[in-house]
Structure 1
Amino acid sequence: MAIELTDDLIQLQRAAAVAYDEAMRQAYTPETWAPWLEASEAVQAAVTAHAEATGQNRYEVEMALKLAVREG
């Protein structure tokens, strides 16, 4: 069975990836990493909710999402 992903999930993961890249370009401070942390927490909550709502395995949803964004 193919993992179903929504556009919202993909957009959240892309935003987290952008926030991570931005944080990596700067010296570490809690403030520079806060946007990535917040975006990552949003992705995790959305993945969990999506997996529960669709009856899909949460881990498989997360891995499919990361792969889709990396390849996309």
Structure 2
Amino acid sequence: MSDIEYPSDLVELESAAWAEIQAGRLTVATAQAVHQGIAEFVARDDVTATRLDVEMGLKRAVRHPADA
């Protein structure tokens, strides 16, 4: 998971979602934007990771940057 290079826009979406989660106000629109961004990223020809691996790695990179 750590060898995946996430585009900055996807990291920004996940960061926004994480901030909303921490504030207790995650919106459906934000959650859908993250899921859509992940789906589009995984659909690229050069991405061999599964959607689940991408999502888990992205969450880890945003929520625990020292571990990533």
TM-score normalized with structure 2 length: 0.77
Q: Could you say which residue in structure 2 is the equivalent of 1:18?
A: 19
**Structure 2 unaligned spans of 5+:** none
Q: Share of identical aligned residues, percent?
A: 31
> Is 1:4 the equivalent of 2:27?
no
Partner of 2:41: 50
Preserved contact between residue 12 and residue 42 of structure 1 (Cα < 8 Å): yes
Gaps of 5+ in 1: 25-32
Higher helix share: 1
Q: Which amino acid aligns with 1:66?
A: K
| Structure 1: distance between partners of 2:36 and 2:58 | 13
Question: Which of 1 and 2 has greater Rg?
Answer: 1
> When the two structures are aligned, how many residues end up with a matched partner?
62
TM-score (norm: length of structure 1): 0.73
